[in-house]
Copies of this chain bind each other. A is one copy, B any other.
Amino acid sequence: MGDLPNLPKSEMQVARIVWRLGEASVRQVFEALPSQRDLDFYTVQTYLRRLEAKGYLKKRRDGRTNVYLPAVKPQRVIRQVVDDVVDRLFDGNSMPLVQHLIDERNLTKADLDALQAKLDELKTRSRKG
């Protein structure tokens, strides 16, 4: 249950690449950076090291290179970040955030349909459960 250390913006960006790739060396992460985001190789290295120190990533040795892989499930991190924002913005209530998302982002028709489907599903489940 121990809360994870802070996961700042820049480091998370790097962490997400590892999540996506499953596992990756510094270079692989470096090369997988979105083109807009141009960080020095050294910097990527530093962030990965920090992520390991904080317990977000594990390190494996492959020859002389380190291969980083997730140490915690993305789900957990997402949850934490969302918790945090919900706390900060809405005193811990999720609903206002949902409302905001639906009101202020213009979701596509497809999105709304998906949402409807999910609602139907939940309704069914609660009727049964």
User: Closest CB-CB distance, A99 to chain B, in whole Å?
Assistant: 7
Q: A9-B88, A88-B13, A107-B95 are in contact. Are A101 and B82 (CB under 8 A)?
A: yes
Which of chain A's residues 94-108 have a Cβ closer than 8 Å to chain B? 94-95, 97-105, 107
Chain A contact residues, majority secondary structure: helix
User: Oligomeric state, in number of copies?
Assistant: 2
Q: Give the complex CA separation of A98 and B112 in angstroms.
A: 11
Total residues of chain A contacting the partner, CB 8 A: 36
Of all chain B residues, which has the CB nearest A84?
B9
Q: 9 nearest interchain CB pairs?
A: A94-B105, A95-B111, A98-B101, A85-B85, A94-B101, A12-B88, A78-B89, A102-B118, A116-B119
